[in-house]
Copies of this chain bind each other. A is one copy, B any other.
């Protein structure tokens, strides 16, 4: 039986569906602070899926929920990178302390395998681009990156101290169906309100590397099937990048809009925003994985999903 924290999130719910498709028993954990019950529409119809509505910060409840698990996919997180400095405790609690709780709940239940959704933000502003997993010891530049790096450190220490095995995935931005935050979501949301003008944080030249969510899940499954180290760390991304302006062009073309673009804020969107997260993914590619969907198609698939599911904007507002 697999446990998925953040099971009602964008990536978490997609992972749950894939695990169920492969015939596994799944316990999903979510507090629905940002997760969406509708993302679990299919899973909740399956007898192999059990939903546990708790907060991962509730360690007592978490220990109970983990009984009988064989591995944990720890995907719950505060993914709101941008407003980290508005509430400095949030990343610490929801990412670092929550990861500690997951590890403790695993330990008392004898569960020793964990997959963790980390982020390319742990590299800060790397001087090595594309950035490999063994890049120089990074300087953290965001509370989000710091909190995820801290989670990675805890996981690695549990591997050494308690015989755990870990799969740590450092994602670029992920796109696709059920995508509910980030550039494409924000731009679409702004264009719904006013199709004639689009405010853009930064100068639009920020380069971004996006990975399609199903390609991301493929990589996670492949790594867990083939990698055998105590701590297995993989960058997940594509061998390509776009500028925010490219993405805006694809979104507007898909929507048939020609808004006036209003830039603000210099060469980055917000304090701690990294102007270029571009990861060297040769390690996961060496295992035999490659992405199937281009950045452009990922953006377009996402826009199409949002067009079919405008309810997500109400749910997130």
Name A141's contact: one of B100, B103, B123, B160 (CB within 8 Å).
Answer: B160
- Give the interface size class of chain A: 35 or more
A137-B136, A137-B137 known; A272-B157 Cβ under 8 A: yes
Complex Cα spacing A46 to B197, Å: 65
Interface centre among A140, A146, A147, A157 (most CB of B within 10 A): A157
Q: Interface with B: A84-92, A215-223, A254-262, A296-304, which one? A: A84-92
User: Nearest chain-B residue to A149 (Cβ)?
Assistant: B153
A107-B88, A161-B85 known; A231-B156 Cβ under 8 A: no
The reply on A124 being an interface residue by CB < 8 A is: yes
The reply on A214 being an interface residue by CB < 8 A is: no
Instruction: List, in ascending order, chain B residues with CB within 8 A of A191's CB.
Output: none
Complex Cα spacing A134 to B154, Å: 21
Complex Cα spacing A263 to B284, Å: 43
Instruction: List, in ascending order, chain B residues with CB within 8 A of A243's CB.
Output: none
Instruction: List, in ascending order, chain B residues with CB within 8 A of A246's CB.
Output: none
Tell me which residues from 119 to 174 in chain A have a Cβ below 8 Å from any Cβ of chain B: 122-124, 133-143, 145-147, 149-150, 152-154, 156-158, 160-162
Complex Cα spacing A133 to B84, Å: 27
Question: Are B272 and A161 in touch, CB under 8 angstroms?
Answer: yes
CB of A204 to closest CB in B, whole Å: 22
User: Nearest chain-B residue to A143 (Cβ)?
Assistant: B157
Instruction: List, in ascending order, chain B residues with CB within 8 A of A231's CB.
Output: 139
Tell me which residues from 9 to 64 in chain A have a Cβ below 8 Å from any Cβ of chain B: none
Instruction: List, in ascending order, chain B residues with CB within 8 A of A139's CB.
Output: 156, 231, 233
CB of A85 to closest CB in B, whole Å: 4
Question: Are A96 and B150 in touch, CB under 8 angstroms?
Answer: yes
Interface centre among A84, A135, A139 (most CB of B within 10 A): A139
Instruction: List, in ascending order, chain B residues with CB within 8 A of A157's CB.
Output: 84, 140-143, 145-146, 272
Instruction: List, in ascending order, chain B residues with CB within 8 A of A153's CB.
Output: 140, 145-147, 149-150
The reply on A97 being an interface residue by CB < 8 A is: yes
CB of A5 to closest CB in B, whole Å: 18
CB of A265 to closest CB in B, whole Å: 15
User: Nearest chain-B residue to A151 (Cβ)?
Assistant: B150
Interface centre among A143, A147, A150, A272 (most CB of B within 10 A): A150
The reply on A104 being an interface residue by CB < 8 A is: yes
The reply on A227 being an interface residue by CB < 8 A is: no
The reply on A271 being an interface residue by CB < 8 A is: yes
User: Nearest chain-B residue to A131 (Cβ)?
Assistant: B137
Instruction: List, in ascending order, chain B residues with CB within 8 A of A123's CB.
Output: 137
Q: Which residues of A contact B (CB under 8 A)?
A: 84-85, 88-89, 92, 96-97, 100, 103-104, 107, 122-124, 133-143, 145-147, 149-150, 152-154, 156-158, 160-162, 231, 233, 271-272
Can you report 17 A-B residue pairs in the complex whose CB atoms are below 8 A from each other? Answer: A84-B161, A88-B100, A89-B100, A92-B97, A96-B96, A97-B97, A134-B136, A139-B156, A139-B231, A140-B154, A141-B156, A141-B160, A143-B154, A143-B157, A145-B153, A149-B149, A150-B150
